[in-house]
């Protein structure tokens, strides 16, 4: 009689073999987020996580499959390299000069007309 009572007092949580799966899922999610953060920090681009930063990344520079990834605050734009050349009609807006120290100075056209 005593044996039957002890079998009836077993807790259901002790019998459930899947009770630990929830904890494994939580641990896997924490590991995945930590891995993602480690990769971002390893590539020295923590700006990718900040919603107020702007970043430009060039993938495969010089290759035919080169991509330019532009993150401007909350929008991300991916530009793929093509064989097409840009061209067309336009208006001269000013002149750019490269100084001896490597700086580029842009001088807009008609500065005096715009100021008056």
DSSP 39-96: HHHHTT-GGGT-TT-EEEEEESTTSTT-EEEEEETTEEEEEE--SPPP-------EEE
Q: What is the pLDDT of residue 5?
A: 47
Q: Residue 98 pairs with which residues in a beta bridge?
A: 104
Helix (H) or strand (E) holding 106: strand 104-108
Task: Specify the higher pLDDT residue, 17 or 99.
Answer: 99
Band of pLDDT at residue 84, cut at 50, 70 and 90: confident
Band of pLDDT at residue 39, cut at 50, 70 and 90: confident
Q: Could you tell me the residue ranges of all domains in the chain?
A: 2-84
Q: Is the pLDDT of residue 1 over 50?
A: no
Rounded CA-CA distance 57/6 in Å is 66
Band of pLDDT at residue 44, cut at 50, 70 and 90: confident
Band of pLDDT at residue 47, cut at 50, 70 and 90: confident
- Strands 94-98, 75-80: parallel, antiparallel or unpaired by DSSP? unpaired
Q: Is the pLDDT of residue 56 over 70?
A: yes
Q: Rounded mean pLDDT of 26-41?
A: 91
């Amino acid at each position: 009689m005593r044996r039957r009572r002890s079998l009836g007092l077993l807790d259901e949580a002790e019998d459930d073999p899947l009770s630990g799966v929830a904890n494994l899922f939580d641990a896997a999610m924490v590991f995945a987020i930590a891995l993602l953060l480690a990769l971002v920090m390893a590539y020295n681009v923590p700006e990718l996580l900040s919603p107020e930063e702007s970043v430009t990344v060039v993938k495969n520079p010089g290759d035919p499959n080169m991509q330019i990834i532009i993150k401007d605050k909350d929008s991300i734009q991916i530009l793929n390299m093509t064989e097409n050349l840009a061209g067309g009609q336009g208006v001269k807006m000013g002149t750019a000069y490269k100084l001896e120290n490597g700086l580029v100075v842009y001088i807009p056209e008609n500065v005096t007309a715009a100021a008056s």
